[in-house]
Chain A
Amino acid sequence: MLPNQLKAAQFSGYPPLARQLAVNRVLVLQQLPLSFLPLLLREVIQYDWKFPAERKELDNQLAYLGSLSAEQLRQSMAPFAALRLPAQFERIDWVNEPVQFSEQLTAHLWATHQIDAFRRASVEYVHELNAATPPGPLPAKRLGIVLVGQGVERNTYRLFRKLRPQGVYFTRVSAENGRSILLDAVAARAQAHPIPFGHWYIDGGTEASSCGGLTCVSYASLDTVRIALVGKMRKVMQAGGGGPEVLRTMLAQMKPQDLGLSGDGDEGILNRFQVSVLTEGSGTQLFSTTFVQWSAREVLRRAQPLTLLARFTPRQREQSIRELLAGTQQKPVADPQGSLIDADMGAYYTWINQQRLPGADQSSFLVWFENHNEALAVSPSLPRGGENNTPTDLRQLLRQM
């Protein structure tokens, strides 16, 4: 089927909000090329479980496409329409299985050397979309905080090496009550600006006892979920279990309820997110450091929070997917020093992802070597590439930012 044959009734299998959105916009959807529409439907079909910021972006995108004249839309879509797709793609049920379509499209674009053209088309389209739908003002400046190095006694690795050019490196930060000070600060922001999914706390170990209005995610709290997930993966990968193709489908269709989590309301939205981190993120099932980094990336990309606190804790020593699936894991042994290096890079990536969001020029970012005296702060109020050797504490640092 081609997009111009699309009918509203074909969205009957979509969840309620997604169905309404698609039906309301079916006229513009019919005008989009096959190399583009299923990728958009991949987002639409998830609408009911998306965060508010994502819903707003999708609404804006569909409104933008609907606002274009037929000729403007043709021009905007021309680079996608120019991609060569074989007829077999028309036979895929891309309305109901846009993820599967997307995977096959990606493989085809790579195999036919069209992936670079697709990349260029996508970048250009996003540029046009962003120019046409400028973001509104934020209720507060964004703040990202990352804690690294929990459990490390002595360190010889040069910390914050990639972030130092962006801000000020503080060498004499009081470590006393550091974690509490930071948690209190983000909780206060959550109280001052109560926005659903607007303030997050991600912990590589066990989260603090009280989350104080924050959306909380932790590696330890998902232990049983990870075990259940790996059990399902193991079953499929065993002889007669169906193999990679079945596993791929299973992971793509995994719901919170399949792993013993609630699927209702805001809790269901959060649980969908947590399941996606474990099923879509590479290494998130293996290492807590990867779990924190990928969760922070996805929270920033999807929920676009005003506040994010991410805390890296020691991951276990190297373990392969093969060991994980075979169930031959030895008793986990922590690797604090390696985890510190992972977290240092994770902090850098978290800053990069925060800078991709609207309001980046006003955003602040703090990374602290937990229970030690080193920190780095990036803020419009601070110089770049600086070093500060005067005694200070985290409260003062936050005030300076």
Chain B
Amino acid sequence: MVVTFGGGARDEETFMPEGQENIPRLLSELIPQSTFFTQVVNRGILGHYVATASLATGVYETFNNFAAVPPDYPTVFEYFRKDLKRPATDTWVVAPSNGFNRIGESGNRAYGAGLGAGVILPKRLLAAALSAGGASQYEHLLRDNYETPLYTPELSGSEIELRQMAEILKLSVSDFTAHARSLASPDELSVYIARQLMRQLAPSLLWITLHDIDVAHSGAYSLYIEGIQRSDRLCAEIWSTIQSEPEYAGKTTLFILPDFGRDSDTDAGGNGFQHHRTGDPLSRTTWMMVMGPGVRENVVVDRAVESTDLVPTLGSLFGFSAELAKGKPLPEVL
């Protein structure tokens, strides 16, 4: 299972001494059980969709971050399904916004069509469920894109898509909307859907992209911090769910990493935590924790690794070949 701690969190508000108050669960519960990489460098484009696609392909993708296009290189989902002959139901992506709807499957001819992951966009499902009205009380869950008013994709989901999802997740539309009312943020909705997937389909490869933190683009530091604190709690809850589900307990490796950081306070080209536009070291350097059976606990790895190393590492764990990925497997967790 891969969880991106996003979108975009700085070390300063997480693992640096002054930021540790924001991540109590990661520090006290997860770090002691994990191998922790202190320097994960992202040398690619620092936009959330293209960076997450780069994480999922093991290649620094170069497409327009705001375009609804598939990744150019095969995704981890395609390697997994093709090499291991896995069915479509065995790998899923739960993604935050419409911008991610093509992430499950690349445009690569040797892979691509029919070999990717199912992509669930919980907010789109909620929008479809609410199409008859009453959306206003769910607005807090439907927030989609914080980065720019220039790209605010429609959230309209289709009735067919909604029914299919209801069937797959064994969840009635009314139960879904009723539960949604009790949630505080889009990421909580994503984790709720992920839990349903784990219980109903138990996919072997599940990718959850958290995104609440990206509210930082609005310039409100307190909301950015709240996003980090919520992501901290949700990561701990995901690990707890893994331990409590028979299909996952004792046989699941969890990777948690931000897609990238955010600009430093002192870089004149940026505006601190608000954006990730400068490409400075703080915005490119982040962390990763890995935990699960066979992974050494309470180990810190200080050497610099790259975010493209994730897919080859997953390949080594699962036993598939990520032949077009540019990164290298991380021996510390194999």
Interface residues, chain A, with chain B CB atoms under 8 Å away: 107, 110-113, 115-116, 119, 122, 161-162, 233, 237, 244, 247-248, 251, 281-287, 289-290, 293-294, 297, 315, 318, 320-325, 328, 330, 335, 337-339, 341-342, 344-346, 348-349, 352, 356
Contacts and interface: CB of A to CB of B under 8 A. Distances in A.
B220 A290 contact: yes
Interface string B41-53: 0011110000000
B225 A341 contact: yes
Interface in B199-255: 215, 217-223, 225
Interface string B62-74: 1110100000000
Contacts of B151: 244
A289 B272 CA distance: 15
Contact of A282 (B152, B217, B278): B217
Interface of B: 18, 43-46, 60, 62-64, 66, 135-136, 139-140, 142-152, 155, 215, 217-223, 225, 265-266, 268-269, 271-275, 278-280
B274 A283 contact: yes
Residue of B66, B271, B279, B280 contacting most chain A CB atoms (<10 Å): B271
A338 B226 CA distance: 10
Contacts of B146: 320-321
Nearest to B265: A352
A228 B271 CA distance: 26
Contacts of B269: 119, 122
B217 to A, nearest CB: 5
A324 B63 CA distance: 28
Nearest to B21: A158
Q: Which 7 pairs of residues, A with B, have the shortest CB-CB distance?
A: A290-B219, A283-B218, A283-B219, A341-B222, A320-B143, A338-B222, A345-B221
Contacts of B219: 281-284, 287, 289-290, 293-294, 342
Nearest to B281: A116
Given A282-B274, A283-B218, A286-B218, A115 B265 contact: no
A390 B280 CA distance: 42
Given A322-B144, A342-B222, 18 more contacts: A107-B64, A233-B149, A244-B66, A251-B150, A282-B274, A282-B275, A286-B218, A318-B223, A320-B143, A321-B146, A322-B145, A322-B152, A322-B155, A342-B221, A345-B221, A345-B272, A352-B266, A352-B272
Nearest to A246: B150
A15 B211 CA distance: 43
A323 B139 contact: yes
Nearest to B45: A110
Contact of B45 (A111, A282, A284): A111
A251 B151 CA distance: 13
Contact of A290 (B45, B218, B268, B278): B218
A294 B142 CA distance: 26
A249 B66 CA distance: 16
A115 B151 CA distance: 23
A321 B306 CA distance: 33
Nearest to B266: A352
A178 B45 CA distance: 47
25 contacts: A107-B64, A110-B46, A113-B43, A113-B60, A162-B265, A244-B151, A247-B150, A251-B150, A282-B218, A282-B275, A283-B217, A283-B219, A283-B220, A287-B218, A289-B220, A290-B219, A315-B220, A318-B220, A318-B223, A335-B222, A338-B222, A342-B219, A342-B222, A344-B221, A345-B272
Given A111-B62, A161-B18, A341 B221 contact: yes
Contacts of B271: 294, 297, 349
Contacts of B44: 113
A293 B275 CA distance: 14
Contacts of A341: 221-222, 225
Contacts of A290: 218-220
B220 A321 contact: no
Contacts of B43: 113
Contacts of B273: 345
A230 B279 CA distance: 30
A281 B150 CA distance: 12
B41 to A, nearest CB: 12
B114 to A, nearest CB: 28
B219 to A, nearest CB: 3
A325 B220 contact: no
Contacts of A321: 145-146, 149, 152
B144 A320 contact: yes
A248 B218 contact: no
A330 B278 CA distance: 35
B154 to A, nearest CB: 9
Nearest to A285: B149
A244 B145 CA distance: 13
B265 A348 contact: yes
Contacts of A247: 149-150
A35 to B, nearest CB: 16
B186 to A, nearest CB: 10
A116 B279 contact: yes
B223 A349 contact: no
A161 B221 CA distance: 14
B155 to A, nearest CB: 8
A352 B221 CA distance: 16
Contacts of B215: 318
A391 to B, nearest CB: 30
Contact of A349 (B46, B143, B225, B265): B265
Given A244-B151, A320-B144, A325-B152, A119 B217 contact: no
Contacts of A113: 43-44, 60
A319 to B, nearest CB: 8
Contacts of A293: 219
Nearest to B215: A318
A356 B268 contact: yes
A328 B275 CA distance: 26
Nearest to B221: A345
Nearest to B46: A110
Nearest to B148: A282
A161 to B, nearest CB: 7
Contacts of B136: 328, 330
